[in-house]
Structure 1
Amino acid sequence: MRILVVTVVHHPEDARILHRQIAALRERGHQVVYAAPFAARDAVPRPYVEGVDLPRALGRDRGAALRAARALLAERGPAADVILLHDPELLLALPGTLRRLRRSGAVPVVVWDVHEDTAAALAMKDWVPRPLRPPLRAAVRAAERLAERRLRLLLAEEAYQDRFRHPHPVVPNLAAPPPGPLPAPGDDRVVYLGQLSRARGALDLIALARLLAPAVRVEAIGTADPDVRDALAAADRAGVLRWYGFLPNDRALARLSGALAGLSLLHDQPNYRHSRPTKVVEYMAHGVPVVTTPTPLAAGLIERYGCGLVVPYQDPPAAARAIRRLAGDADLRLRAARRGREAAVTELDWRHRAADFVDLLEMWVKEETSGAGPTSTL
């Protein structure tokens, strides 16, 4: 198949998009064109995929990205068997575009990969004025219902089913555990992996680092939202913590090896209540104990597998106590690391689901070409 993968929001090195889905498609022998904001994210396409640079959709500045995406779909869509969209914003680029594609005789399967609760996420954006948030949430729900009727949907979480009227296949955010044996967790370094923002606990990380120094060092890996970037940079300059910024996926995951714990300090936000933090599964896969706030799906992993500790929301002193407990008890951290690793290998391994993902796209293409698929009139 010929697959056109499009994002204007996510980093081109996004693990779900590039390192899981695109990798699975290529392993099956399919051709991938990957359109993403490479230049805006200071990234370059991997040599094994054809990359197309798009503007980045950021804050209120989304018009240029949508116009570019609309032009891309018109130009490259006719040659695609599957158009795989990764942002709800891209639904706005579809009206009229698909009608033109079908008039030209092209019948690509258009798939929206639903990564998050978009309506809940909007309520967390500082650039959205508060009076506009309720009507925007209503508009998003209406767009989701329209997309459900006209497109194929993939869901990243089972909990997202509640937003839609019909069941849709789930392609969960899982990890690919590295081959063992792995080093035992140490006692002097904890790691945070992922996007850094207030709601994701960026300022809590800084406070935690101050409480743990000098016995335990906090390392943060990931890009930061503008409102926390200066605080992280200042903390890094002062030696309070080590902020690496963005690292390619392989280098970022390598930093997990031998860490005392992996951190997930999400705040209690609606968008996080139905999502399993991928970072938690990555920590488990790399044999690292987890310290997490009680977001339901993350806490559920800890309770089910005994792979770490749960701490209250926005409570750096409690997180510091949990980390000191792990640092002072080698048996506890080794047991948590082993249980997490075992669960990741046996039940949470992406490689066990990768074939299902590719099979699904192949089946949808067959249905579309046979006339059994949904007919889009967007």
Structure 2
Amino acid sequence: MRILVVTVVHHPEDARILHRQITALRDRGHHVVYAAPFSAREVRPRPDLEGIDLPRAAGRSRRTAVRAARTLLAERGRQADVVLLHDPELLLALPGTLRRWRRSGTGPVVVWDVHEDTAAALAMKRWVPAPLRPPLRLAVRAAERLAERHLRLLLAEDAYQERFRRSHPVVPNFTTAPVQAPEPPGTAHVVYVGHLSRARGALDLVETARHLGPGVRVDVAGAADPDVREALAAADREGVLRWHGFLPNDRALALFPGALAGLSLLHDQPNYRHSRPTKVVEYMAHGVPVVTTPTPLAADMVEQHGCGLVVPYEDPPAAAEAIRRLGTDAILRHTAAQRGREAALAHFNWPDAAAEFTHRLEAWAREESGAGPARDAARTERPRLRPATGSPSPGPRPRSGRVG
């Protein structure tokens, strides 16, 4: 198939989009063109992947990105068998083009990959004025219902089904567990990998590192929201922690070997209550004990599989104490690491989900191409997507549980 993947919000090196979905599609032999905000994020497309540069949608500055995406879809979308969208903003770029495709009977399958509960996430967007949040939530719900009528949907979480009237396939945020057994957890450093914001516990990370002191290094990898960047940069300058900035997923995972713990310090926010933190699955898959706040799915994984410790929300002293406990109890530490890896291999391994993901897109494309002889003829006449110019042994169950 010819597949056009589009985002104006996510980092071009986003693990779900690039390292999982696009890789899975290309492994199946499909031709992928990736449109993303490469220049805005100061990265270039991977040399073996066609890339199209788009503006970035951030804060209140989204109109330019939506217009550019609308132009891209109008000019290039018809050349694809599948258009895979990754942002709710892109729904605004579709209506006119989608109507033209429907009238001509030659349009691609359009798929929206639903990454999060957008309406719930609005409560955490500091750039959205508080009085506008309730009407915007209603508008988002209306847009979701409209999208359900006209597009194919993929969901990142089972819980997202509740927002829609029909059932839709779920492509969960799993990760690829390394084939070889990972290095056992040591006692010298802990890791955090993921976006950094107040709600994701960025300032709690800094305070946790201060409570740990110089005996344990805290490695933090991820892009940061403007309101927490200075605190992270100051902590890095002072030697409280090491902030690596954004790292592509494959480079971020290089911080995992020998880590004492992987941290997930999400706050109690509606958007997190029914989401499985990808970082927790990644820690488990790489044999790193988990220290997490009690967001329901993360706490359930840690307690059910005995792969770490759960600490209260917004409590850096408790997080530091959990890390020290793992550091002084070798049985707890090593058993948590082993059980987490076993659970990830059995229940949260991306290759299993990858097959379902690619097969679903292939099935939708077959359904669309089977709509009639005229459509089949139009598809065979479509040119290929043009490249962009200037491409940028199970042991005893550990004494896991809640701390504090």
| TM-score bin (small chain) | over 0.9
**Mapped partners of 1:224, 1:350: distance in 2:** 26
Match of 1:251 in 2: 251
1:229-378 pair list within 5 angstroms? 229-371=229-371
| Paired residue secondary structure (1:3) | strand
Match of 2:55 in 1: 55
Gaps of 5+ in 2: 373-404
8 Å contact from structure 1 (residues 77, 101) kept in 2: no
**Which amino acid in the other structure matches residue 142 of structure 1?**
A
8 Å contact from structure 2 (residues 77, 107) kept in 1: no
Structure 1 position 105, deviation (Å): 4.4
| Paired residue secondary structure (1:245) | coil
| Paired residue secondary structure (2:240) | coil
| Paired residue secondary structure (2:40) | helix
| Paired residue secondary structure (1:207) | helix
**Mapped partners of 2:147, 2:78: distance in 1:** 20
Gaps of 5+ in 1: 373-378
1:18-29 pair list within 5 angstroms? 18-29=18-29
8 Å contact from structure 1 (residues 292, 309) kept in 2: yes
**Mapped partners of 2:143, 2:225: distance in 1:** 27
8 Å contact from structure 2 (residues 8, 56) kept in 1: yes
**Mapped partners of 2:329, 2:103: distance in 1:** 67
**Mapped partners of 1:146, 1:140: distance in 2:** 10
Match of 2:399 in 1: none
Greater relative contact order (CA < 8 Å, ≥ 6 in sequence):
2
Out of 174-183 and 133-142, give the one that drifted further. Answer: 174-183
**Which amino acid in the other structure matches residue 312 of structure 2?**
P
Alignment of 1:111 onto 2:111: yes
**Mapped partners of 2:48, 2:120: distance in 1:** 36
Out of 153-162 and 246-255, give the one that drifted further. Answer: 246-255
| Paired residue secondary structure (1:220) | strand
Q: Deviations over 1:15-59 (max 9, x none)?
A: 100011000100110000100000001111012211000000000
Alignment of 1:143 onto 2:143: yes
Match of 1:375 in 2: none
Identity among equivalent positions (%) equals 75
Out of 307-316 and 42-51, give the one that drifted further. Answer: 42-51
Structure 1 position 78, deviation (Å): 1.0
Alignment of 1:7 onto 2:1: no
Match of 1:161 in 2: 161
**Mapped partners of 1:65, 1:182: distance in 2:** 41
8 Å contact from structure 2 (residues 14, 248) kept in 1: no
TM-score norm. by structure 1 comes to 0.97
| Paired residue secondary structure (2:43) | coil
Match of 2:195 in 1: 195
8 Å contact from structure 1 (residues 294, 312) kept in 2: yes
Structure 1 position 355, deviation (Å): 1.1
| Paired residue secondary structure (1:179) | coil
| Paired residue secondary structure (2:244) | strand
Structure 1 position 256, deviation (Å): 0.8
Structure 1 position 98, deviation (Å): 1.0
Match of 2:398 in 1: none
**Mapped partners of 1:134, 1:312: distance in 2:** 29
Aligned pairs, number: 372
**Mapped partners of 2:188, 2:269: distance in 1:** 30
**Mapped partners of 1:128, 1:215: distance in 2:** 41
1:44-83 pair list within 5 angstroms? 44-83=44-83
Match of 1:35 in 2: 35
**Which amino acid in the other structure matches residue 182 of structure 2?**
L
**Which amino acid in the other structure matches residue 145 of structure 1?**
R
**Which amino acid in the other structure matches residue 290 of structure 1?**
V
Alignment RMSD, CA only? 0.9
Structure 1 position 214, deviation (Å): 1.4
Q: Deviations over 1:249-281 (max 9, x none)?
A: 111001011100000000000000010000000
Alignment of 1:16 onto 2:16: yes
**Which amino acid in the other structure matches residue 245 of structure 2?**
G
